[in-house]
Amino acid sequence: MKKKVLVLLASALLLLQGVACPPKPTPTPIIIVVTPTPIEAPPTPTEVPATPTPSPIPTPAAREVEVHPLAFAIGPEGPYGMTSRCKVSVEPNPARELRVGFYEEEVAGTGPMWRSSGWMASIVGSFLMGVDLAEYRFTFDIGGRIDGPSAGGLMTVAVLACLLGDEVKEEASMTGTINPDGTIGPVGGIPQKIEAAAEAGKKLVLVPVGQRYSFDIAKQEWVDVVEHGRRLGVEVKEVSDIYQAYEILTGKELPKPEGASGRG
């Protein structure tokens, strides 16, 4: 028993003196070398050509055309006709904003129906020429006091003449509304308007088709306005659409949009 105790004590002393059991062998580290696969750059996308922007229609310089609308009114002495001066101008509009303006010589010289006819003339004229309404500035400079839609056809001819660079015959005038499809609509007071045209020195007046026989309020009877004009030295012609009116008033043929057909 004592021998075992002595052996244990001897072992303990050896441990205290730094004699230890041989260390465990250190394992050799395994080094794995991983060569990264180079990442190829994504292929350059093929450039898609941009959609071509259609070339704008050549914008003409500012143009002005003067016309003389015919009007009808009833005063203290009865019905009468009169003529006015209207300068229609069209010019490029770099701002590309809708601009239709009206200038007056007198306070409230033009009424709402007259101004709506100016808008319609600008819209129809632009549509027939295939141009953007916002690319131009349309101006109607009117003398005197006037209202009503009966000068719509004449003002449309003036707008088109500005866009095309044509002139309106000075000795001619017209009465008739303008419809969205370019047809000319009926009006009243034609006998008195022809009388006013004769007094102003006009030699030709266009009237809406179907109105050769018009009611004369002053005489309270139907009259043949062609014969009425002949007696006054004025040639009266009926027209059905803006194409007929334009050719007669300017001497030039109005280009027609593809697929369109005039009644003339």
Let me know: does 184 contact 176? Beta carbons within 8 Å. Answer: yes
Tell me the three-class secondary structure of 79-108, residue by residue. Answer: EEEEECCEEEEEEECCCCCCEEEEEECCCC
Contacts of 3 (CB under 8 A, 6+ apart): none
Query: What are 48's two structure tokens?
Result: 């898609």
Distance between CA atoms of residues 246 and 256, nearest Å:
12
Q: Which residues are catalytically annotated?
A: 150, 193
Q: Give the chain's end-to-end CA distance (angstroms, integer).
A: 145
